């Protein structure tokens, strides 16, 4: 017979395992970040991310005038100049490494930045999902002990 504390513990542990597994699978499958930002007058928007070789990146900037600084690893896309009205960047990573994009609004209207940036997930995010799953398993194990034998003080 399961006690009340055992059932509550199993429920909380199962919830932790389910949520951790869901977000772990989601972080493995989706590594595309959708960008839809607005940049006010005289402000900047900065993107820094790690990408692997052959990842596809797309960025579109619309506004009266703006300055773009873009640095990709190796001999990839290197941009440092002013643009007006609209510009689209569509590139593939030539080598693994960090991408840096800085868009500064130099015009009199707000900028609209859209695109899709494919990035590598941080290993810390992956580990945090595994810790949540492990905690759920641990909670279920400790809760199961309550139905076998009640420890002193409970």
Number of domains in the chain: 2
**Are 76 and 99 part of one and the same domain?**
yes
**Are 134 and 92 part of one and the same domain?**
no
DSSP string spanning 91-123? EE-SSSEEEEEEEEE-SSS-EEEEEEEE-PPPH
What pTM does this model have?
A: 0.67
**Are 37 and 106 part of one and the same domain?**
yes
C-alpha–C-alpha distance, residues 148 and 4, integer Å? 13
Residue 108: C-alpha distances to residues 21, 41, 56 (Å): 47, 6, 32
Q: What is the mean pLDDT of residues 48-73?
A: 92
Domain of residue 25: give its range: 1-31+122-154
**Are 150 and 106 part of one and the same domain?**
no
**Are 111 and 132 part of one and the same domain?**
no
What local confidence, expressed as pLDDT, does residue 115 receive?
Answer: 94
99-128 confidence digits (pLDDT tens): 999 999 998 899 999 999 988 877 888 899
């Amino acid at each position: 017979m399961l006690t009340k504390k055992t059932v509550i513990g199993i429920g909380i542990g199962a919830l932790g395992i389910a949520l951790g597994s869901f977000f772990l699978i989601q972080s493995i499958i989706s590594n595309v970040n959708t960008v839809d930002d607005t940049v006010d007058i005289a402000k900047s928007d900065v993107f820094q991310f790690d990408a692997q070789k052959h990842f596809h990146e797309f960025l579109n900037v619309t506004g009266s005038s703006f300055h773009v600084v873009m640095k990709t690893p190796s001999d990839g896309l290197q941009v440092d100049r002013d643009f007006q009205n609209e510009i689209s960047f569509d590139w593939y990573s030539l080598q693994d490494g960090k991408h840096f994009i800085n868009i500064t609004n130099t015009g009199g209207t707000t900028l609209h930045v859209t695109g899709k940036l494919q990035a590598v997930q941080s290993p810390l995010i992956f580990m945090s999902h595994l810790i949540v799953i492990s905690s759920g398993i641990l909670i279920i194990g400790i809760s199961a002990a309550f139905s076998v034998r009640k420890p002193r003080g409970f």
